[in-house]
Chain A
Amino acid sequence: MLRSIVLLIIALALLGALVMFFLLDRLTPSRAGWIALAFTACGLPLLAVGGGSAYAVKASSSTEFCLECHEMGDYGRSLFIDDRTVLPATHYQNRLVERDQACFSCHTDYAMWGDMKAKLNGLKHVWVHYAGEVPETLELYQPYPNHNCLHCHDDGRRFTEAIPHRGKLDALYADETSCLSCHGKGHALEQVEAGNFWLGPEADN
Chain B
Amino acid sequence: MNDASTPAKSDIAVVRPWVGRALLLIIIGLVVQLFTLWHVTPASFLIFAGFGVGPVFVGFLLLAWAGLKLRRAREGAP
Contact = CB atoms under 8 A, between A and B. Distances in A.
Q: Do A and B bind each other?
A: yes
Interface residues of B, number: 35
Contacts of B45: 56, 59-60, 65, 122-123, 126
B6 A45 contact: no
A52 B42 contact: no
A21 B20 contact: yes
A10 B37 contact: yes
Contacts of B59: 41, 45
Contact of B27 (A3, A21, A37, A122): A21
A125 B46 CA distance: 10
Contacts of A30: 6
Interface stretch (A12-20, A104-112, A175-183): A12-20
Contacts of A48: 30, 33, 56
Contact of A65 (B34, B38, B41, B60): B41
A130 B46 contact: yes
Contacts of A7: 34, 37-38
Contacts of A24: 16, 19-20, 23
Given A21-B23, A130-B43, A10 B33 contact: yes
B75 to A, nearest CB: 17
Interface string B1-39: 000011001001000100110111011011101101110
A2 B43 CA distance: 21
Contacts of A13: 30
Interface string B67-78: 000000000000
A69 B43 CA distance: 10
Q: Specify the main secondary structure of chain A where it touches its partner.
A: helix
Contacts of B20: 21, 24
Interface of B: 5-6, 9, 12, 16, 19-20, 22-24, 26-27, 29-31, 33-34, 36-38, 40-43, 45-46, 48-49, 52-53, 56-57, 59-60, 63
List the 6 closest pairs (A to B, CB-CB), nearest first: A59-B40, A14-B30, A126-B42, A21-B23, A17-B27, A52-B33
Interface of A: 3, 6-7, 10-11, 13-14, 17-18, 20-21, 24-25, 28-31, 34, 37, 41-42, 45-46, 48-49, 52-53, 55-56, 59-60, 65, 68-69, 122-123, 125-127, 129-130
20 contacts: A3-B37, A7-B38, A17-B27, A21-B27, A28-B16, A41-B19, A41-B23, A41-B26, A42-B60, A45-B30, A45-B60, A49-B29, A49-B33, A49-B56, A52-B53, A65-B42, A68-B41, A123-B46, A126-B43, A130-B46
